[in-house]
Structure 1
Amino acid sequence: MAFRLLTLGDVRLLDPSGRAVSFPEKGLLILAYLFAHPHRVQSRSALSRLLWDKVEPAQAFANLRKTLSRIEARQQELGHRFIEITASDIKLDDRPIQCDVVGLQRLASGDALSDLRTLIGLFSRLFLENIETTNNTLSAWISQQQQQHLTRLRETLMDAIPVAKTAADIALVKDAALWIFQHNPDDEMIVAVLAETYSTEGKVQNARNIFDAQKQKLWGKLAPGPDSHALNVVRKGFEKQSGILFAPLYKNKHRSLAKAADTGPKRTVPRLVLLPPVESIAGSQPFLPFADALVEDVTIALCSLTSVSVVAPYTAAQIGRHSDKAETIAQHSISYVLDARLSGHGAQRSLFVQLIYFANDEVIWADRYDMEKDSLAAQRRQMARRISMAITGQIERNELTREYFEQSPTAYHHYLLGQRHLKNLDLPDIRRARKEFRTALRDSPYFSPALSGIARSYSREWLITARGDTELLEEAEKHAIRAIAAGQDMVGGYRELGVAKMLLGGIDESVEALELAETLSPHYADVAADYADTLVHASEPRRALEKIEKAIDLNPLSPDVYLWTAAGASYCLGEYEQALSYINRMADSGLANRLAAASWAMLGNQRRAKTFVRKTRETNPDFNVDTWLAAVPIKEQWQKDHYRDGLRKAGF
């Protein structure tokens, strides 16, 4: 049995029987330093500077001589020599003594979960965390060691996540992430890991607390996350509906991030293609090789997973060059597409990546990574890890959601048909969509996505007809509440409730419901777009424009409704040319004829304004400014007056 030096937490020396023995405090620090040193040896001059950096070198040398004399005397008393002292150096003899941090240095089992378990056992406390010193050099060295330990734990955690399959594995991942989060709450990926593991365990409130704490840290009191009142808004709606049963999304709350062995029939493993990055601006050529290599790194990393089948880089490149990517992707039975684009100006470049679920063209995750030419090599590994982890978690989450959908394949089929019709902003297609959603409900009465779809169809009809028919909005609210009741963990119901509440004039309740929807699905472009629309009505056009630009960023081939919202926010800010620019980008700009007329009028171009007034009259001959503005919910009177002024100047 050997002596043992403990450095994690309180620094102590234990004898072979496990009892603490006295030893000079500076001697314990020297032992800790030598165990951390790769060569187990250090010069007298370096150690004197480490321990006494605030005194003259001669005094530091004298202090070190006295300390070494005390260490030598104590070693003789114990009958063991831990360090050898020469005229120039001090060297560790680790034969009679062990140290807790050596376990960190020796980890190389090849089993990420085993290594992670070992590290968690080691890192119950920080390295030398109770050492109090005014010595800057010593403090900096201790902090450096602590950060290295955190980095080692984080890297091992990232290696362990893709292979974590059982509930015990997920608990281990959560414990490691929580420990890192406590010491580095600004680490976004650790926040994401915690939220994912808590959600997997059914602890939604814990996940929301993590998000809310992060938002509070980032935003302070300017834009707090959804609180209990936001949930109560939804609950009030539930209580009005008698006889509605709450149906959880998953019957088994203990699903893991990487599912344990199924007992039922095996499902087809989803296929993922990572398309080669493209440049969305000129001048990105120097960055393209790096982006290509990064995507290939991610592809290779994901090939080790059993939960997803990754299309080989050569085939991915062929698909990327194909003129009709959608048809090619469908032919290869691909479920998920990772799209990467370079953007930015001058020396500022970023890589925008988005993960798309191909079946309904939904962006389920997106992120932007800044790129600096001088540090691309150093960034590559970290970025590849972050992207790989995000893809793994998002596909797993989406696959679990698909299980809910596929419990009723007929209902799901009609839901997808309804979604296709709902993409078109004309009344016949909106009503066709509603018919498909109702057909889905005949097969599965509590199919939450179909209930959400019906709610959206009523809201859309109210907007298109512009008659101020409150019955349509009441139907939208009723179906949104039913959708939430049928699928509490699904974002659709909260989103539609927010839209319906906004159109009914409950703007504050709408903001709260959509804030909650965004918390549940932060990368859902359509939610961000609806949130932006509500902020326009809440007389916060600046925030609205920021939010809709985020939605456009997430979904670059934006539907017309995004551009319509962006144009409305721009008009409210007095940016009339910008408003018209957004309208011109719409595939069918007829819906924005009123807004275009008002914008041209505010720019003083009466001829163009009259053109759009005439177009509006052709499709809606009964349009009346005062009736319309009385029906449209707008929080601040100045905004309503601004819109009325533009419409009147245009000739309405």
Structure 2
Amino acid sequence: MPQSPTDSPLGRIDLFGRPTALVGGSPVVFPEKAFMLVALLAFAAGRDLDRASARELLWEEVPPARRAGNLRQLLLRLGQLEPGSPVRVTPEGGLRLAEDRWRVDAVALLSGAVAPGAVDGRPLLEGVAAKGDQFEDWLRWASRRANEQRGAALRAALDAAALDPAARLDIAERLLALEPLDETGHRHRLTAHAEAGDLAAARRAWLDCRARLRDELGIEPSPDIQALAARLGLEGAAVPPSASVAALSDAPERGDRLGIPTVIVMPPALLPGNELLDRFGLVLLEEITLGLSQFGSFRVIAAHTSWQLARRAPGSPALGPAPFGEAPRPDYAVTVGIRSSGEPLNASCRLTKLSTGEVLWAVDLEISAANLQASLTDIVRRTVGSLAALIERAEGRLSLAEAGATGYRLYLEGKRSIGATGLEPLRAARKWFRLAVKRCDEFSAALAGLSRTLSMEWLVRGMTDRELLTDALQAAQRAEACDPGSGRALRELGFANLYLRRHDDSLACFAAARARAPNDADLLADYADAVMHDGQPERALELMRAAKALNPLGPDYYRWIEASILYRLEDYDGAVAVLQPIADRPSTARLLAATCAMAGDLTAARGHAARVRENYPAFRVDDVWQIIPDRRPADLRQFAAGLRGAGLD
């Protein structure tokens, strides 16, 4: 029954700091794994979680055969609590928080229902002994997300309404305790001291702001902070001589159906007397702009416009709406800086959300004066992919109600669902991608995502007919037609063609996609898969290692591809080790059965074979000739031998 506004949950679970569970103000005995499970559900999309993911994250150190029993025992124990279990089993068999009975502090934080005065920096699940690498990785991600939400709540409070100086200072100090380089916090701390008439404290705040940004990032404070300090007559404050991205921050709300954000890359300030580094800065601007343009998920203002804006004097009308005319105004600015005093030389890169002034990311990278070309390549490689991911993450933080159901926002919902190999997340992602395409039928990235869900479902289900693959190919072709030469579209064309056994077409598409996006880890992983099925496992392993170097915490299917390559190379023990963290997934059962058999572990092989029969009762070994797109018959015979060795027929 839905909870009425006057109802209140019977219990409370606090996950930050040392976790506690209270009922009526009294502590409740709560297993450590229960706190971990509640945390997983609090941070899950929609606060629903499938059992397989819960088992894998909570009991990674336990053999897969025992994980289901452990989860059942934990749920039974929680069901014996006085207010009832905080975890419900959904009709589909998944897990969900019982929010009508229990209030969870993390849920309140993530939903924006926490007062600024209650925001603190207590760590998530402090003292809980996570026993697996995957949960540790998840905990780091969830902690970052919690801090992002804390920062967002504090920034919103600072900007929402008029505050007295004491309240403004308190919130600004809380924000800076979380994010010492956040310029919103520095600006409001400076403002609070000035409003209180304490110019000595304002001067200390200004000097602290300037020193932190210079020391940590090699950049100057934002122009609006500099202008505020100059108005107050503080030491060392001056209006910057070059054009500012702050002049672009009054961009109107996006109203188009697609709704993709616009990015501008601002170049470094000219360095008097150093023509070589000036040229380096110009090329760096062009390369980062070009790299971001290849993603196709956001608009990027041309480098020429950025360079011209940076050369104009402050206050020029050209810094207003005029340069853009009817074109979209920027939503994000990437600011590049070069610091030339002393050795080594350094380049900095900062991503700012213009509507709030929030610095989303900053990095400082060394420049080798002896090899500027290598430095340029390294800086572009290390910044472009991170910038694209951060922009998508920033856009994805907003709820659909806040951002509007634009095609881009719906596309981000699909991307959020597509990381796992299970059927449910794949089909959820397909729903979002289709909605995005319905909103804007020429949205190439959403069409590419739709193609991927179709290909992956065909692969996960081990299907032998070609209908889903044909649909995937058509979606990829539409994606490429909407954005000719798109790396994402070419990647999906390569993927669909591979499983349609069009090897030459597949490899050509992957090669073209790699030329467009040489540092796309997911592309390299798929390319490795195609090369392996073409009968080149040694080269495939090189590509796979390159993918993992760029994305060491990649999605589940990285393991699937790597294990398949090791199987081809007859490194069966290595393949088993790679697959072990996802050993309980039905989609890995065939490969694990064959691999364990070839490694000589017949007991484990037969166990995985039993799971194949349970999940794929119609499967026959002869089906591999239709499912697996190996070009060389000998490779198929090798895999079939492993399956038969596991007892499959």
In the superposition, the TM-score normalised over structure 2's length comes to: 0.47
Q: Determine which structure has more spread, i.e. the larger CA radius of gyration.
A: 1
TM-score (norm 1): 0.47
